[in-house]
Amino acid sequence: MKFDTPATTNPIDQLRIVGKPTDRIDGPRKTTGTAPYAYERHDVARNPAYGYVVGAGIAKGRITALDTAAAEAAPGVLAVVTAANAGKLGHGKFNTARLLGGPEIQHYHQAVALVVAEGFEQARAAAALIRVDYAAAPGAFSLAKAREGARPPKADGGGSPSATHVGDFDGAFAQAAVKIDATYTTPDQAHAMMEPHATLAVWEGDRLTVWTANQMIDWGRGDLARTLGLPRDKVRLISPFIGGGFGGKLFLRADVLMAALGAKAVGRPVKVALQRPLMFNNTTHRPATIQRLRIAAGQDGRITAIGHESWSGDLEGGGPETAVAQTRLLYAGANRMTAMKLAVLDLPEGNAMRAPGEAPGLMALEIAIDEIAEKVGMDPVQFRIVNDTQVDPEKPERPFSQRRLSECLRTGAERFGWSRRAAPGQRREGRWLIGLGVAAAFRNNLVMKSGARVRLDGRGIVTVETDMTDIGTGSYTILAQTAAEMMGVGLDKVVVRLGDSSLPVSAGSGGQWGANSSTAGVYAACMQLRALVAKQAGLDPENAVFADGQVRGGGSGGISLAEAAGKEGLVAEDHMTYGDLDKKYQQSTFGGHFCEVAVDAYTGEVRVRRMLAVCAAGRILNPKAARSQVIGAMTMGVGAALMEALHVDERRGFFVNHDLAGYEVPVHADIPHQEVIFLDETDPISSPMKAKGVGELGICGVGAAVANAIHNATGIRVRDYPITLDKLLKDLPRMA
């Protein structure tokens, strides 16, 4: 099915099941520990061996000697795999560095060996016996130092240009009476998901099956086949349950390759889980940014010039953090400029982390918007509303399909009590300085081709099959809701099978495209199945009514779905593809984040006291799951604002705080009550589901809302994240 004209009334609009707050159908399995994650698949392979990955001890250079003799002689050891005996390996489309290093080393903790043993402890102990000698080479480990040598990338990760120019930015900015020119920084950040990157690999002849933690099944399967030099049909990747990803499991990582190589070497199943330090230094992370914002406005508060430049770094061949993406679309202004520059750094690979581009970009832009609003003398909520637009600011002939940013901000301001906001540094409760902050939320709406197979059996059970993944987001439930709505059955009559490359290829989980795209794929397959059922019942598919487990014609009697399926059952498969509506309309999601903080006037300690998100993101398929997504994203945004930072050892080129003791993330005690409001909205330009997505919108702008609240509480403007107390102490007001 091709979606190339705006959606009209369709079966989803009945909203009998879709759009209702629904408990997760996978919830009982996860809460009882019966949902098997990759490392726990004791049911699929007998007598597995255990692999332990050895990571490089330098960030750049070469291995001059690698002695595995002592490890190979250690108790329980079955094999040691290195680049010397692994055979010829290819390079995946989605990897920047090679997943198995040697003799050349491209980054710290790049995998250089795998010890396979009967037990995990034996493999770990033997790994410590491997002797590796290196010839280290000088490397670039500081974005600030590499900034001058940064160059424009060919394009951003989505193919957009690295720089844009509209009007006369330089002239308009120079002539403006009110303007700001400020630089902001965001640090390297880690996904720090609970479940490690983990894989169980099994060979059957020349066929490889891996149970792994991966968000994008088809991408992972393709890259594993490329790396091992196998035909795609010889590789099967299974990932039905994933314990968090946030973009860190979008791509094939070292655990998958090393498990496959280890299993090949010992002729039996092998399990590999990356130890926590390697999750930080071996896999991907959100790259640090340096961002310069220049904004000019008239006395009426209307932006006359806006410029956003961003610098980020990655390994040779990598890409930029697209931190200027939202600035191209969020606010009006005739004179505009954005530019990205990329430095080559010898740190571990930088890549996607929840809302790549917009999350760090809004951390800077939305502080700058507050700063220019303050200079103009306008309330920051009103300033944002004044500069709203209903068309793409860079291409005014291209309207937004839906854009309710102003309504999000007005609704949030009223609900949050914004009118009680005081001037900076003026509101106190005992030793606590109290402040309110706001930021706009923006994330583009992306859609991807997605397929599904739907089966109807003689019991009236509908089974949905697709390689879509559930990374804790509720995919099982919204796909079941979609099939139930389309086929006129209850959720108890729907079974969902996910996360297996033997199933039809879906959009996968990433980019906020997963829910909308994958449900649209199920919609397409169900339309095919409805036609088959109607034919069996002798009805016109266009007029057939599916309800209460039956199909019937307009006003006439019908038959049960079970009867229509018969003993053989019915099967339909289709995929949803898209036309050029995204060229005619700019499709985006919007929101407003509001935050109240208390700052200890003596110590600079920051406590977040209240949070509110108002989101306009198309049809909300399951409000209960969507709220969970948004409050989880808000929590991550608080972490980014106040504590999360990977600290680089610039002598050795690695992230020092590479565990959950040193890399701080928010815990329950850090997070107050969070309120989420979804505007009642459908977007017929997006898909037949008329949905978009909220999983990444929820983090966009949160960091700046916290930063702006801290400024309102203290009068101190911090432009370098995270906002730790040492950045506040020296400027806190003197206390009697």
Q: Alpha-carbon distance 111 to 126, whole Å?
A: 16
Q: CA-CA-CA-CA torsion for 195, 201, 207, 209, nearest 10 degrees?
A: -30
What is the structure's pLDDT at 599? 98
Residue 472 structure tokens: 């804790």
**What SS3 state is found at 57?**
coil
Q: Alpha-carbon distance 516 to 450, whole Å?
A: 10
C-alpha closest to that of 365 among 711, 709, 707, 722: 707
Q: pTM of whole model > 0.95? A: yes
Terminal-residue alpha carbon distance, the chain:
71
What burial letters (b/e) apply to 567-594, b meaning 16+ CB within 10 Å?
eeebbbbbbbbbeebbeebbbbbbbbbb
C-alpha closest to that of 258 among 86, 128, 388: 86
Q: Alpha-carbon distance 236 to 497, whole Å?
A: 15
If residue 354 lies in a helix (H) or strand (E), which one and from where to where? Answer: none
Residue 682 structure tokens: 């459908």
Q: Alpha-carbon distance 377 to 422, whole Å?
A: 14
What is the structure's pLDDT at 736? 53
Per-residue pLDDT tens digits for 707-736 = 999 999 999 999 999 999 999 999 998 765
Place of tokens 């599904």: 452
What is the structure's pLDDT at 734? 79
If residue 165 lies in a helix (H) or strand (E), which one and from where to where? Answer: strand 163-166
Residue 293 structure tokens: 């914002």
Q: Alpha-carbon distance 318 to 345, whole Å?
A: 10
Beta strands per DSSP E along 390-531:
391-392, 395-399, 428-429, 432-444, 450-456, 462-465, 494-497
Place of tokens 């130092």: 145
C-alpha closest to that of 687 among 354, 380, 448: 448
What is the structure's pLDDT at 528? 98
CB 217 within 8 A of CB 239: yes
Q: Alpha-carbon distance 570 to 304, whole Å?
A: 61
Give the C-alpha distances (Å, rounded to integers) separating 431 from 55, 80, 423, 604: 48, 60, 17, 10
Q: Alpha-carbon distance 197 to 242, whole Å?
A: 10
* Domains present along the chain, CATH in parentheses: 2-35+447-583 (3.30.365.10), 357-445+587-729 (3.30.365.10)
**What SS3 state is found at 351?**
coil
- For the CA atoms of the chain, what is the radius of gyration? 27
C-alpha closest to that of 345 among 277, 285, 257, 275: 285
Q: Is the peptide bond before 399 cis (omega within 30 degrees of 0)?
A: no
The parts of the chain modelled with pLDDT lower than 70 are 155-158, 555-556, 735-736
Give the C-alpha distances (Å, rounded to integers) separating 672 from 55, 607, 701: 39, 9, 18
SS3 labels along 355-385: CCCHHHHHHHHHHHHHHHHHHHCCCHHHHHH
Q: Is the peptide bond before 424 cis (omega within 30 degrees of 0)?
A: no
- Give the angle 81-199-668 at the CA atoms, nearest 5°: 130
Q: What's 271's DSSP letter?
A: E
Give the C-alpha distances (Å, rounded to integers) separating 329 from 232, 310, 399, 593, 702: 39, 16, 11, 18, 18
Q: Which residues are catalytic?
A: 696
Going by C-beta distance under 8 Å and a sequence separation of 6 or more, which residues neighbour residue 542?
none
Residue 452 structure tokens: 């599904």
If residue 623 lies in a helix (H) or strand (E), which one and from where to where? Answer: helix 623-642
What is the structure's pLDDT at 156? 58
Query: Amino acid identity, residue 274?
Result: L
Per-residue pLDDT tens digits for 648-700 = 999 999 999 999 999 999 999 999 999 999 999 999 999 999 999 999 999 99
State whether the Cα torsion 720-724-727-733 is positive or negative.
Answer: positive
Place of tokens 């107390």: 725
Residue 675 structure tokens: 């309120």
Q: Alpha-carbon distance 9 to 312, whole Å?
A: 45
What is the structure's pLDDT at 578? 98
Beta bridge partners of 209: 202, 236
What is the structure's pLDDT at 556? 67
What is the structure's pLDDT at 158? 64
Going by C-beta distance under 8 Å and a sequence separation of 6 or more, which residues neighbour residue 668?
none
Q: Alpha-carbon distance 630 to 532, whole Å?
A: 39
Give residue 569's region: left, alpha or beta (phi > 0; psi -120 to 50): left
What is the structure's pLDDT at 557? 75
